[in-house]
Structures are given as C-alpha cells and as structure tokens.
Amino acid sequence: MYSVITGWGMAVPEKVLTNADFEKMVDTTDEWIISRTGIKERHIAGPDETPSTLGLQAGRMALEKAGITPQDLDLIIVATVTGDYSFPSTANLIQNQIGAACPAFDIQAACTGWIYGVITASQFLKTGAMKHILIIGVETLSKITDFTDRATCVLFGDGAGAVVLSASKTKGGVLGWTFGSDGSDPERLYRPAGGSRCPITPENVGKSETFIHMNGSEVFKFATRKMGVAVEEALQKAELTPHDIDLFIPHQANLRIIDAASRRLELPPEKVFVNVEKYGNTSAASIPIALCEAIASGRVRQGNKIAVVAFGGGLTWGALAIEWTAKHS
C-alpha cells in the first residue's frame, strides 16, 4: 500500500502583526527583519485561539477535501509544542470536537513535528492497518514568545495546517522519507521553564526563562548544513534525485536558509515555494500551510515530485519525497 495525501486545510488567526508594529515594540527595523529573515508579517492568536481551535478548523477542511467523514478516521496525530494543556493531548481534544471515534495523540518534534507525524502515519497506512489518518501541524508560539526580545519575537507566527493521508494501492504519495534527532545540546532552541525540570512558579512567572530561548546563529548553521542532506536522503529512498523535483517546499523559517538549501540542491526559484513573508515561522504548521497555499496557487500538478524538509528544536530534522498522484485531484 502507498500513503497519499487526499485532503488538506489550513487556518490562521485574524490578527496580523507587521514589521512596522514591531518597530514600535522593540529596537528593530523593517529593513533588518526583511533582509535577515524575509518576514514582513505574521498572524498572532487571540485569547480564544488555541492549537485545538485552529487545528480543528484546518482538520475539518482537510476532511471535506478528502471527501470523508470524521467517523472514517482511524487515527489523529497533532504535531505541536504549544498544546492547549500539558495534558491531555491537543489531538485528544480535536478528536472529540471533530466528532471522530479514533485514537489520537500528539507528537513533539518542534518545527519538524508535522513531518514526524506524516512518517509515523505512513507506516500504519502502508501495512494496511489503517485507511485514513488526519495529521495536523499547529502552533501558537506567540503564547511563549518574549515580546521584549527582538532576537526571537519578530520571527514567529501562529497557525495550523492539516492533511488527510489515505492508504492507496496506486503508486504515489509519500515515496521516501528521512528524519533525525540530535539531543546533544537542547539549549540551542528551547523553553527553559514550564516543564517538570523548572516549573512555572510565582518567582519566575513572566520572566525570560518562561519564553523561547534560541541561539539563532547555531540553529542557522545547523539548518543550512542539514536541509540539503535530508532532502537528498529522502529522494534517494524514492529513487529520485534533486533534478527530478518539480516543487520544493522547505520549512518557512528564514528566506536566507531557504535560499541556501535551494542553492545546494541546484533548484531555481520557480521550483521553490516561499510564503515566509506572510506568516513568519509557524513551526509545525509551516509546511502544511505552505502546501495548502502551493495547491491553491496552482503550483502542484498531477505527477509532480515534491520535496519537503524541516528542522527545529531538539534539534530535529526530517524530509519527505512525495509524488502527487491522480487521487489528489
């Protein structure tokens, strides 16, 4: 069996913060943010918008597109590091709200989470154990962002993207994959407080350690080194090479990182999908949102070979080689 994408959907909060808004909040400029990251604006969740509300919207769209009902789902996987609660899982909440009766769990691999979810789901589909799985990547990083720290606050945005992966006898869908983890230095990108090691207390509430901390240049170097290698590994498993790629959808974190990966893979700009300017880095939601927009803009056609790749906290990384088959349209 093959595991193919049969449905897709996305949701972002209404509120938008532009670079001009950040110029009023911290010591930064529109010029710095655009030249260093490519970001112009990002969507920010309101008090009532959470991973379960955004994930639910994206998930419903994906089911509709796939032409299946919630009862057809065999599993729901949600990739997030900002779930509604520490527990139960956000997948658990969405399972009830969407009206499904299947198992549901969260995956935590930071920005690589959605790819981890797709790889996990594919195994259940390829063995024939399951028929339809909903995988949602959703994040509200704004809720753990220090809006006085210019080095991180301008980078992130909130949103959700979802796909339905279905079992198919026709060749296509996720043909190759790779994922990895290097936990040797978790402090390159992490939230120091809020877990069991350093719980939120009256003493640290609102302090820097309760927000995202990042060694930006270390993560930058890692990403530019790893993205091309990961794509090549995933393509090799699908018996493809970078020359076969029709569309490259990289994690939307930083335009300079995207450009470096595209150069390494010798891909011209017309084969690379970029929307980082509109959403910033939405972490686990970044690739499924980009996929939805690539489809909506007519850049995904039957038979296309698509490579996707992400990197993130952990550090983690992952890539997929996908063939867009007739079942998609």
C-beta of 33 vs 162, nearer to ligand UT7: 33
Q: Where are the beta strands (DSSP E) in the chain?
A: 2-11, 16-18, 41-43, 75-79, 104-107, 132-139, 159-168, 173-181, 189-190, 213-214, 247-250, 305-312, 316-323
User: With left for phi above 0 and alpha for psi between -120 and 50, is residue 266 left, alpha or beta?
Assistant: left
**312 near ligand UT7, judged by CB under 6 A:** yes
- Residue 52 near residue 94, CB atoms below 8 Å: yes
List the catalytic residue out of 251, 275, 292, 328.
251
Shortest Å, Cβ 225 to ligand UT7? 12
Question: In terms of CB distance, is 38 or 70 closer to ligand UT7?
Answer: 38
Closest to ligand UT7 by CB, 184 or 217: 217
Q: Is 164 helix (H, G, I), strand (E, B) or coil?
A: strand
Q: Tell me how far CA of residue 277 lies from CA of 18, 111, 216, in angstroms.
A: 10, 17, 18
111 binds ligand UT7 (CB under 6 A): yes
How many angstroms from the chain centroid is the CA of residue 238?
Answer: 22
User: How many residues of this chain interact with ligand UT7, rule: CB under 6 A?
Assistant: 19
| Burial of 30 from C-beta contacts in 10 A (0-12 / 13-18 / 19+) | middle
Distances (CA, A) of 327 to 55, 120, 167: 24, 21, 11
Of 4 and 274, which has the nearer Cβ to ligand UT7?
A: 274
Q: Which residue in 32, 105, 147, 190 binds ligand UT7 (CB under 6 A)?
A: 32
Ranges within 267-296 binding ligand UT7 (CB under 6 A): 281
What character string, x for contact with ligand UT7 (CB under 6 A) and - otherwise, covers 189-218? -------------------------x-xx-
Q: Tokens at residue 69, please?
A: 């009902």
Query: Cα(329)–Cα(325) distance, rounded to whole angstroms?
Result: 8
Nearer to ligand UT7, 6 or 282 (CB): 282
Q: Can 43 be counted among the known catalytic residues?
A: no
User: Using the 8-state DSSP alphabet, how is residue 137 labeled?
Assistant: E
Known active-site residue 132: no
Rule CB under 6 A: choose which of 6, 19, 37, 57 binds ligand UT7: 37
Q: Please indicate whether residue 204 is annotated as part of the active site.
A: no
34 binds ligand UT7 (CB under 6 A): no
Residues that bind ligand UT7 (CB under 6 A): 28, 32-33, 36-37, 111, 150-151, 154, 214, 216-217, 219-220, 223, 253-254, 281, 312
